[in-house]
Amino acid sequence: MNRDGSQGIEAFGAEPFCTSLDYLLDDEQHQSEVTNDYYQGSPNILHKISAIIMAIAKTIIWLSGILLWLGGIGIHLWTAIIAFAYWGFWGAFVTFLLPVAGEILWAWKSYVYSGYFWNSYIIILIAYVVTWGLVILSTFIVSIWSDSQT
């Protein structure tokens, strides 16, 4: 009997709730309700092509991430050095504080000062932007492909 005078569940010969975890364990094997029957069985050519495309896209993302990180630091330092050479300390300081705006300004200035649009600085900046495009495209491909696989 409980303190309040009522009989507990033990009086009826049953175990109290949550004293045993046996109800969570069973020996039956259950299959997930979410299944993907498309790729069951032997892999066909579309499955192999899909795996190759995913591997290429993930490799591009991984390598480009490293390239973008190191390349961004290198381009920004190069831009600050160019700014220092032409405008001195304050030009380099302002350029260093405003990364993208500084790169755009000094790309324009390098075109004006050199007279050639395709100079080394602009080619490196364009390669950097194209690398960003590859990362975005690869991420999109991985996203679409992984969504279609589930």
Give tens-digit pLDDT for 29-74.
Answer: 555 555 555 545 556 787 788 888 888 888 888 888 888 899 999 9
- Identify whether the C-beta of residue 108 lies closer than 8 Å to the C-beta of residue 44: no
Q: Give the integer Cα–Cα distance in Å for 114 and 74.
A: 21
Other C-beta atoms closer than 10 Å to the C-beta of 142 total 17
pTM over 0.75: no
Helix axes 45-97, 120-149, angle to 10 degrees: 140
Other C-beta atoms closer than 10 Å to the C-beta of 102 total 21
pLDDT above 90: residue 17: no
Residue whose structure tokens are 């109290």: 16
Q: Counting every residue, how long is the chain?
A: 150
Kindly report the average pLDDT of the chain as a whole number: 78
pLDDT tens digits, residue range 85-113?
A: 999 999 999 999 998 999 999 999 988 98
